[in-house]
Amino acid sequence: MHNLLDLFLQSRKTREVFRCCQSIRDSFLDLGQSARAVAFLFAVLSVFAASALAQGPPAIRLANISTRLAVGTGSNVLIGGFIITGSQPKKVMLRGLGPSLPVIANLADPVLELHDSSSTLAVTDNWRDTQQDELRATTIQPRNDHESALVKVLNPGAYTVILSGKGGTTGVGLVEVYDLDGSVDSKLANIATRGFVDTGDNVLIGGTIVVGSGTTTVLFRAIGPSLISVLPNALRDTTLELHDQQGGLIAANDNWQDNTNAADILATKIAPSDPREAAILRELSPGNYTAIVRGKDNSTGVGLIEAYQIK
């Protein structure tokens, strides 16, 4: 896996691309062999993001990126990665929710960790314990005292978020990253999250909020089969749905090559590597969007959802 990733990195010219890829790969190495496949996929994600660094505040951007998942223990905790591109530090807010989610089996007491490529930047349990005043000032602090949140100014680069249950507890949890400063040239480029995809309320759900003027092109990918070589319990066949803020279905896909715009997906250079994996490429106006990953025919297993801004 390392040799393949190193060969991929050598094919790119800019230092920024290398730095993003290297930091994402390294941040997952200590999670074990199974997570290295995820690191590789995140690295591909970051190569695309870093190749389009912003000049001045972007006219349209992803103001929020989030993922909801059934959080387990061990390697089945919620592991997410996100990229900040640009040249200026970005002020963000991270939330780890559980008790306030409208599902029965929610995560009763989430613990949130933030890592960069070399260190742990923050660990937070109950949001009131550390940055209560700063979090309240955002007006989007968690509604439950047992939920986690933090405000941080981050340099452009790759970051990893881990959401787990306090004391090894399990349940449905949600990780969110909010962009708190639209005046700088940096932006949230993408999010990718790995976890166990079950059925019903325990499928893998990703969301994003697009703000600004005009439209932006976003690629969503649902990965599973290409993880099987290192994750034997990965999904054998993924499906993907994209919904608008009213819940209306914008698009659905099973196998990415069946899309009418499959050539456009291929042209991004980051089309899924397995034909059984799903992808949706759409031009989006400002608004809220939700992507849902399931196993075909209600199958279960580890899956990966990715959403990132193409242009």
CA distance 33 to 52: 30
What are 127-181's pLDDT values in tens digits?
999 899 999 999 999 999 999 999 999 999 999 999 999 999 999 999 999 999 9
Quick one: three-class SS letters along 134-195?
A: HHHHHCCCCCCCCCEEEEEEECCEEEEEEEEEHHHCCEEEEEEEEECCCCCCCEEEEEEEEE
Residues 76-93: pLDDT tens digits?
Answer: 899 988 999 999 999 999
Is pLDDT larger for residue 62 or for residue 271?
271
Q: Are strands 249-253 and 238-243 parallel, antiparallel or unpaired?
A: antiparallel
Picking from 11-20, 203-212, 278-287, which range would have the lowest pLDDT averaged per residue? 11-20
Higher pLDDT, 42 or 105: 105
For residue 2, the model assigns a pLDDT of: 41
286 DSSP assignment? S
Question: pLDDT tens digit string along 15-62?
Answer: 443 344 444 444 444 455 545 445 544 544 444 444 444 457 788 888
Average the pLDDT over each of 37-51, 83-97, 186-200, 212-226 and give the range with the smallest value: 37-51
Class of the domain covering 56-309: mainly beta
Does position 207 have pLDDT exceeding 60, yes or no?
yes
Out of 198-202, 262-266, 273-277, 302-306, pick the least confident: 198-202
